[in-house]
Amino acid sequence: MTMMNESDKHRFLGEMLRSGEHYQAEVWGNVTADKKTQLMFSSMPVNSILMESYCYIGMTEENINIVVVNTQKPDKILGRLRLPVDKISSVTVKGSLIPGKKTMDLLVDGRAIRLKLSSGTIGTDLQGQKEGVRMITERFKVLSGK
């Protein structure tokens, strides 16, 4: 079985970078979105991410980039979404009873997206997850204050 890995994370997220951009944090997580939001993902069949799907998340100064991958074959991209930070109108960051787990509910142009992050990377070679989760949640907490 293919696992989520550092190489795919960098490659998939790197393909979304615009000229002059760089990532402040790159992590893996889970994404859930409503049907209206699913239509924003290129090549995503509607209903395919009503349940949680694995994704790679990259945070730049101006965007949150999400690459949704197949849960069974995470080397296969299902869709991509660029969320401009200035279009995020609402953010809720929640902790969990389980240490290292965070949930972020975003409202972007009236579209709801839920991201679930975990600082753990058991069974993968993913790097910097704990620090990346911390950086992203801190940024979202700042955005929630707008």
All structural domains of the chain: 6-144 (2.30.29.30)
Residues of the chain with pLDDT under 50: 43, 46-47, 49-50, 146
Selection from 93, 8, 25 nearest residue 60 by Cα: 25
- With contact defined as beta carbons under 8 Å apart, do 91 and 105 qualify? yes
pLDDT one-digit tens code per residue, 20-44: 999 999 999 999 876 666 666 554 5
Per-residue pLDDT at 133: 94
Per-residue pLDDT at 112: 86
Per-residue pLDDT at 146: 47
- With contact defined as beta carbons under 8 Å apart, do 25 and 135 qualify? yes
Going from the C-alpha of 50 to that of each of 27, 36, 46, 47, 58, the distances in angstroms are 21, 11, 8, 5, 21
